[in-house]
């Protein structure tokens, strides 16, 4: 008997995920998937219903591969690429601190999340960095973020409106 969540998209991705044998391959698949299917700048809308479920399954596999390949100290302090997570965090926080444009700040924050969301970066470092970036972004937005009319806001942000016909 079929389960409620079984469908061809998920079945195909479960097979791809099961074939991952190295952390590097898992990270490449996860980051590519996030950019293509889950980003505000995504280019592929084919997995609207299954994207987050698939991302979760890829994250599970990457976490297991990270646990296999890293010792305890690396697991708690390094990103999956092997770089010390705090160095990456310090670099992006410095970039955000120097930023004065709210739209550039949004991209910094979104790109940080896409590239480093756990299990890529250890949770403790990711959450603190995400908090710092979010605080700066909100300071730049201030209270006048929605003062622009919707059409002008879309134009400034480069929004492409998609309509269903």
Q: Tell me the pLDDT tens digit for each residue of 16-36.
A: 999 999 999 999 999 999 999
Dist. CA 119–CA 111, nearest whole Å:
15
Residue 149 CB-density burial (10 A; 0-12 exposed, 13-18 middle, 19+ buried): exposed
Of these ranges, 49-53, 146-150, 153-157, the one predicted with the greatest mean pLDDT is 49-53
Using pLDDT thresholds of 50, 70 and 90, give the confidence band for residue 49: confident
Domains and CATH numbers, the chain: 1-69 (1.20.1280.10), 87-165 (1.20.1280.30)
| Mean pLDDT value across residues 50-55 | 93
Dist. CA 25–CA 23, nearest whole Å:
5
Tokens of 62: 């990457």
Average pLDDT, the chain: 91
First-to-last C-alpha distance (Å) of the chain: 36
Categorise residue 117: left if φ over 0, alpha if ψ from -120 to 50, beta otherwise: beta
Residue 145 confidence (pLDDT): 63
pLDDT at 91 over 60: yes
Dist. CA 105–CA 98, nearest whole Å:
10
Q: What is the pTM of this model?
A: 0.80
Q: How far is CA 123 from the centre of its chain?
A: 13
Residue 64 confidence (pLDDT): 96
More confident site: 154 or 18: 18
| Mean pLDDT value across residues 96-112 | 94
To which H or E segment does residue 39 belong?
A: none
Residue 113 CB-density burial (10 A; 0-12 exposed, 13-18 middle, 19+ buried): buried
Percentage of the chain exceeding pLDDT 90: 69
Tokens of 51: 């994207």
Strand partners, 84: 78
């Amino acid at each position: 008997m079929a389960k409620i969540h079984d469908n061809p998209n998920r079945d195909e991705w479960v097979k791809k995920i099961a074939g991952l044998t190295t952390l590097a391959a898992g990270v490449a698949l996860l980051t590519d998937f996030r950019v293509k299917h889950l980003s505000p700048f995504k280019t592929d809308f084919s997995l609207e219903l299954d994207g987050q479920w698939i991302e979760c399954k890829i994250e599970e596999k990457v976490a297991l591969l990270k646990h296999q390949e890293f010792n305890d100290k690396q697991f708690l302090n390094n990103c999956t690429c092997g770089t010390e997570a705090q160095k990456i965090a310090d670099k992006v926080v410095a970039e955000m601190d120097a930023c004065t444009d709210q739209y550039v700040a949004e991209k910094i924050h979104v790109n940080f999340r896409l590239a480093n969301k756990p299990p890529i970066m250890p949770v403790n470092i990711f959450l603190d960095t995400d908090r710092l970036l979010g605080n700066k972004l909100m300071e730049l937005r201030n209270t006048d973020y929605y003062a622009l009319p919707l059409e002008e806001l879309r134009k400034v942000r480069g929004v492409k409106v998609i309509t269903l016909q």
